[in-house]
Amino acid sequence: MQKPTVLVTRRWPAAVEQQLAETYNVELNRTDRPLTSAEFRDAILRYDAVLPTVTDKIGPQALDVSKPRTKIFANYGVGYSHIDLESAKSHGIAITNTPDVLSECTADLAMTLMLMVARRASDGERELRSGAWDGWRPTHLIGTKVSGKTLGIVGFGRIGQEMARRAHHGFGMDIVVYNRSPVRPDVLAQYNATQVSTIEELLPQCDFVSLHCPGGEANTKLINSQRLDLMKPDAILINTARGEVVDEAALAQSLQYETIGGAALDVFEREPAINPVLAQCENVVMLPHLGSATREARQAMGFRVLDNLNDFFEGRAPRDRVA
């Protein structure tokens, strides 16, 4: 029987690419750049499976084909708001993702960002590298304490819970949670967490707010100017979820006028483009989408895609099917 043909849209860890090549007729995107809509239309007509990532925008234009050959988008990553679900469903294309395997590493990165912005680590490193540091003094680069403060978590799935674990058990933080559905009492009890019914109730209580909710249309600009105004004047916003969850223009204004204490971002509305006003703000820490960027997580994501592909082409229901 002929092996299914598979397109991998970006370069993946070598061990994963090798195993894919042993199982399928694989074509790699050796340029390692995002595909255009026209290239996606061509791919959907030529390959049995397409393996996209968050950088691939598979909208209605990309799916404007009459007789697609592609039967599955096996997505490399948890989020899949970059794929037009309705268009994919209309073609009968299955979609899978890779949950679980990156939760710990993304929570580690969220904690890193929180500590960096709270303790002004980026400011300090820039000063050192520029040769401007002239020695210790009592009022130099004063930040804010993290231990014992209140952390608000928006979205209490796997990553949000891992963030709560680190914050509560590692730093003694009080945890306040907003989630679109009720969280079981026994889960909240693990972190001595309190669930509130609205974001508006959460924001004024918190010294830090960390976003771990899905992207997509329902959560676009979830954090807007009105909600930023509800935050404490010294509170800090952390986003490792999806860029579209935050209204970056509103955030930049809040940072410029110092109506909040700071922000720490790993994802952006139009990445890799960065809002130029936001980039000029000194009270924001920015990283280039590193949430799952560990060897362990990136390999595990790839092998999870492979598991989903194997299930699909061997006639089993993929465990991570989302559409």
Q: Which residues are catalytic?
A: 242, 271, 289
Helix (H) / strand (E) element for 313: namely helix 295-313
Contacts of 175 (CB under 8 A, 6+ apart): 150, 151, 153, 164, 167, 168, 191, 192, 193, 194
- Do residues 240 and 293 lie in contact, with contact meaning Cβ atoms separated by under 8 Å? no
Nearest one of 219, 232, 266, 248 to 144, comparing CA atoms: 232
Question: d(Cα 5, Cα 123) in Å, to the nearest integer?
Answer: 49
Helix (H), strand (E) at residue 263: strand 262-265
Q: 113 with 238: CB under 8 angstroms?
A: yes
Q: What is the amino acid identity at position 288?
A: P
Which neighbouring-strand residues pair with 208? 151, 236
**Sign for the pseudo-dihedral over CA of 220, 120, 289, 153:** negative
* Token pair in block for residue 213: 């909710």
| Alpha-carbon gap, residue 251 to 85, rounded angstroms | 29
Nearest Cα neighbor of 121 from 146, 145, 143, 147 is 143
